[in-house]
Amino acid sequence: MLIGGVLAITWLILLLRYPAKALPVSLAAVLGIGLIAAWVLWQEHREAVQMARLDLRLDYAPERCPADRPLAMAIRNDSGATLFELAWQVRAYRPGDTLNLAETPYDAPRYLGPGEMRPGAAWQDCLPLPPLRPGYRASSLEFRVEHVQARFAD
């Protein structure tokens, strides 16, 4: 923080003392920073649009899945780009509640997707339950996909 303050004061002194030379350089620097900021915002918006087009469904389905992996996960890539990586966390809630009942220690499991998915492709699998807090049964909870991270093709 001290270095930033010194740089700002130095820039201000140079701008006041030598305006003819410092002003064009300052404007070029501001334009460059503005272009970089616009590019970053555009990339984030594009990624957010692609993430919104992913259809992620998670159901507790012990009748369709093995006993050690009772969560049925279905993913459909409705975005226009190929999905390369997908990771998420599973949270457990009582219906109508906002308190996460899945234990989320530092080493909580991160669930990973199928790898490469072309636009329009679908994937289904059965996943293990996250560790639940004591006293709660999985059959009485609803499970949600949260903290989704994805990487799409450019």
Q: Are 138 and 70 in contact (CB under 8 A)?
A: yes
State pLDDT tens for residues 23-62.
888 899 899 999 999 999 999 999 889 989 999 999 999 9
When the pLDDT of each residue in the chain is averaged and rounded to a whole number, the result is 89
Torsion of CA 59, 60, 66, 72, to 10 degrees: 10
Residue 22 has a pLDDT of: 85
Model confidence at 65, pLDDT cuts 50, 70, 90, reads very high
Please report the pLDDT score of residue 154 as a whole number: 74
107 pLDDT tier (thresholds 50, 70, 90): low
- The answer on pLDDT for 108 being more than 90 is no
The CB density around residue 46, as the number of other CB atoms within 10 Å, is 14
